[in-house]
Amino acid sequence: MPTGICRYCGQLQPLVKAHIIPEAFFRAIGTGREAPLLITNVASRPHARRAPIGVYDNQILCDTCERRFDKVDAYGTKTLLHTLRGDALVPFRRGRDVVGFWTTGIDQQLLKRFFVATLWRASVSTHPFFERVRLGPKFEDLAKNSVTEGEMPPVFGALISCWIGPDGRDEHVGFMNPFAERYDDIRGYRFYFGRFTAYVKVDQRPFRRPLGTMSLGTQAELFIVRRDHRASKDFAAMINTAIVQHENSQRAKRGVL
């Protein structure tokens, strides 16, 4: 067990293997040959590998501080893997098309706290999979202080989407590395949690309509955007990365690289 400075308490402590995204999300997709693909979609070095237990970092948290995340991790895992399934999701239609879902009974503030906790761990992580998540000292401190208690700063917001395949079924996919993007000029980060994707705002400005009306905590109901996985740019990027990785592997076997 390595010793270092815990990024949460700031003390010199033995550091533990801390998962950035809870392991349960990876195991829900499969193990062994069915384990999810971990996709690092960086143009300079696209990479894909199996990740049955996900990604952990043994350089960021001591055991005591790792346990601070138990409540939010447990709720985020339970909600996204078990609660938001089947009849719990009521279709929201525009004409004949299902464009999203809504449900009730979700602690949206706690779910948002889970997303922000994941965001903080990704930002302080040294693992290459999270290299495109960098909040900077100011926002890292705000995110860290939001993990357990206290009011969530308005700089953070979140909304979620759900992958649905062409046949209308839920689709579990591989995990692409999270990255920064803008939603109508509002800065944020995209994270993947199996069949769900979270769009986490890191901006003093609120989400603009219509995103603002769908973000967590703005309404009593939780709204989830429906996305077609196979028609998405995400799916195309994952396929391209997997192909490049396979080609590189074949070249390596032939001694070309």
Q: What does the H/E/C string look like for the chain?
A: CCEEECCCCCCEEEECCEECCCHHHHHCCCCHHHCCEEEECCCCCCEEEECCCCCEECCCCEHHHHHHHHHHHHHHHHHHHHHCCHHHCEEEEECCEEEEEEECCCCHHHHHHHHHHHHHHHHHCCCHHHCCCCCCHHHHHHHHCCCCCCCCCCCEEEEEEEEECCCCCECCCCEECCEEEEECCEEEEEEEECCEEEEEEECCCCCCCCHHHHCCCCCCCEEEEEEECCCCHHHHHHHHHHHHHHHHHHHHHHCCC
> Sorting pLDDT into bands at 50, 70 and 90, what band is 208?
confident
Q: 3 or 43: which carries more pLDDT confidence?
A: 3
Report the chain's mean pLDDT, rounded to a whole number.
Answer: 81
Look up the pTM and report it: 0.82
pLDDT confidence of residue 94? 78
Average pLDDT over residues 105-116: 96
* Band (227; pLDDT cuts 50, 70, 90): confident
The mean per-residue pLDDT over the stretch 95-106 comes to: 87
pLDDT at 58: 94
* pLDDT at residue 241 in the model: 40
* Res 136 pLDDT > 70: yes
Mean pLDDT of 53-58: 81
